[in-house]
Structure 1
Amino acid sequence: MSSVPYRRPLDALTLGALALAVTAVSSSAPLVAFAAAPALAVACWRNLLSVAVLGPFSLARRRAEFRALAVGAGRREGVYCVLSGVALAAHFATWMPSAQLTTVAATTALGATQPVWQGLIARWQGRRLPLTVWAGIGVAVLGAALATGADFTASGRAFAGDLLAVAGGLFAAVYTALGERARATISTTTYTTICYGVCAAILLVVCLLGGVPLHGWAPGTWLAILGLVAGAQLLGHSMFNYALHRVSATTISVLILLEAPGAALIGWVWLGQLPRPLALPGLALLLAGVAVVVLGRSRGGRRTEPVPVPAGAAQLAD
């Protein structure tokens, strides 16, 4: 068993996939805010339709891999795929409703606390974090308090949306960390099919039990859902998952920060949403704190233990 995770060198294809992913996910919050449908229903359809697109292709191409994950030597990686789908469902169930309760800018900025949560997850796993990381966490928490406090003075609804966005960032960190484990040995199509399938099944059950309507909306809402499937899901999440075999979850988290200004720009141009003045200093501190966390953790990364990867993993992943 190798003690060093297999990483292919960055190439033009990976860099292009990351650029495409950042651009695609920037459209997520504006589309969710535009859709005149319950956020949970939108999240459910987003994943169901993604599985409908990916499922036939992955089942036709990766039958042996699916079999190994179910009854073969890859059962542990199969568990990571399932758990990642559960975390993704929790992320969508918290972050997507936040886009309909508060502004697009606040939703994306507060959701960008994902690298902070991943730093805490690393500490929970027994990895030592540099002092700069904890300093960055403090700055980010202060920024989040200022941002949510500004929303609280505006309305309790916006404040609830801010809290959901922060929770969404936490679950996104868990989803990415589990995905990094699974993607060490599993192809992108197999991983995303299982992950999105588990996520869709959970959200469908929640919608059915909660009486959330799944149809009866205007054509514009369905177009927004299709936009989420094609953009944020298939070109966004899937491209990030593709890159997880080549770059770390921390690097992915850094790039996801670029979603915040991109979504805010789209929200301003398309939806006419401007962040409230009182929230701007808090959002700036939040993003600065997250940047400090990421930089501090990358400098201290040489002192952390890498994730073990079974021998032969390089031949399994695409």
Structure 2
Amino acid sequence: MKLKKPPLPIPILMMIGIVAISFSAIFIKWSAAPASIQGMYRLLFTSLLMLPFARTYSGAAFALRKKDWIMLVLSGTMLALHFLLWMGSLKYTSVASSTMIMALEPVFIMLGVYFLYKEKTAVSAILGLSIAIGGVVFIGWGDIGISADNLKGDLLSIGGTVAVAVHMLIGQKLVVRMPSYLYSLIVFLSAAGVFAIYNLIMGIAFFNYPANEWGIFLLLAVVPTVFGHILFNWLLQYVSATTVSMNILGEPVGASILAYLLLGEQLTALQWAGGLLVMFGLGVYLYAGRKKTIQLADAIQNAS
């Protein structure tokens, strides 16, 4: 299978996505609203921004099979669960610690594609992954702690990481049969609906929030979601889910730097060193795993 080429070089597009998602934790820390409200409006506002451009994809939407709709709703449910758990974790632990744990996503992705698509990872790619994860551990090492709050935050982040890995694996299979834009829109609407149901059941207020909170909800929709998640979903048609998820390893670096500048969270020399290791490991993985993209795309198409 011959892969299409994106309009801009993939490394540039990935860097834009990394910077965008690095702001996510900052905006969440600035908000006092419940995580489920932040997640709901983040996805709802993103969907509203996307709707004016959705008419082009109406034909593709009507062509979707019942199985596709079930998988889309499942993907949206996993995305909502990811946001609920990970955004909730930031209420209990630091940006560095929470994003460090979330950066373990490629481990779950790698296991998933092995069992689902029989994708084997080169030894050199595993080495790059190990270096990057080691760097992420350095970033969060000084902040994990052993308090009950920190432990709760760590467990929530782990749960959110598993959920987003499942979301990515479902997306990898779906975007080979439908436009990535349509995929993102339906999944975001599904996730917003899941959040709405959750908030109704839990009795969480929908509208009683000050103006600055609404501004944060909008920022969450535009910056990390449009220029982060939508961009990464779009990249799934050019590279594998494993490669896209590897870029999450760049988030602890960007988020930790922003947390230092904007929130006053201190970084140790070990954490700075970890940031360098993350970027080095990311480079090793992307170089070693570039040929696997074509192999995975063929495996997914054959399984469809």
TM value normalised by structure 1: 0.80
- Aligned match of 1:227: 219
How far apart in 2 are the matches of 1:221 and 1:21? 24
- Residue 96 of structure 2 corresponds to 105
Give the Cα separation in 1 of the matches to 2:263 and 2:123. Answer: 41
CA, structure 1 residues 78+293, in 2 after alignment: closer, same or farther (shift >3 Å)?
farther
> 1:6 and 1:89, CA in 2 relative to 1: closer, same or farther beyond 3 A?
farther
The residue type equivalent to 1:9 in the other structure is K
The Cα of 1:187 is off from its aligned counterpart by 1.2
Look up the match of 2:15.
19
Show CA shifts across 1:238-268 (max 9, x none). 1111111112212212222212111111111
Aligned to 1:215: 207
Confirm whether residue 67 of structure 1 aligns to residue 62 of structure 2.
yes
Give the AA of the match of 1:249: A
Q: Deviations over 1:82-126 (max 9, x none)?
A: 222122111111111112211111121211111111111123324
Q: Match of 1:248?
A: 240
Q: Which residue does the alignment assign to 1:173?
A: 165
Which whole-Å deviations, capped at 9, do the CAs of 1:200-243 have from their partners, x for residues lacking one?
Answer: 11111111111223332222222111110111111211111111
The question of whether the paired residues in 1 share the 8 Å contact of 2:97 and 2:144 is answered with: no
Q: Is the 8 A contact 2:101 2:158 kept in 1?
A: yes
Q: 2:108 aligns with which of 117, 132, 146?
A: 117
Q: Please tell me whether residue 93 in structure 1 is matched to residue 88 in structure 2.
A: no
CA pair 140-308 structure 1, distance change in 2 beyond 3 A: closer
1:157 to 149, 153, 175: 149
* 2:49 aligned partner: 53
Q: Is the 8 A contact 2:136 2:249 kept in 1?
A: no
Q: In the alignment, which residue of structure 1 is the partner of 2:190?
A: 198
Partner secondary structure for residue 237 of structure 2: coil
Matches within 5 A, 1:307-318: 307-308=298-299
Q: How many pairs align? A: 302
Amino acid at match of 2:172: E
**2:250 corresponds to 1:258:** yes
Tell me which moved more, 86-95 or 153-162: 153-162
Q: 1:129 to 1:188 in 2, by over 3 A?
A: closer
Asked if 2 retains the 8 angstrom alpha-carbon contact of 1:115 and 1:290, the reply is: no
Structure 2: 5+ residue stretches without partners: none
Q: Percent identity?
A: 25
Task: Summarize deviations over 1:114-160 as a string: whole Å, max 9, x none.
Answer: 11111111233244455677778888888888888865645211221
The TM-score with structure 2 as length reference comes to 0.83
Deviation at 1:46, TM superposition (A): 0.6
Structure 1 moving runs of 4+ over 4 Å: 13-16, 126-152, 277-297, 302-311
CA distance in 2, matches of 1:267, 1:165: 17
Using the alignment, how far apart are the partners of 1:77 and 1:264 within structure 2? 38
Which amino acid counterpart does residue 103 of structure 1 have in structure 2?
Answer: S
Per-residue displacement from partner, 1:58-98 (whole Å, max 9, x unpaired)?
1x2222111111xxxx4444443222212211111111111
C-alpha spacing 1:120/1:12, structure 2 compared with 1 (3 Å): same
RMSD: 3.5
Q: Which AA in structure 1 matches 2:85?
A: T
Counterparts of 2:144 and 2:15, CA distance in 1: 35
What amino acid sits opposite 2:63 in the alignment? A
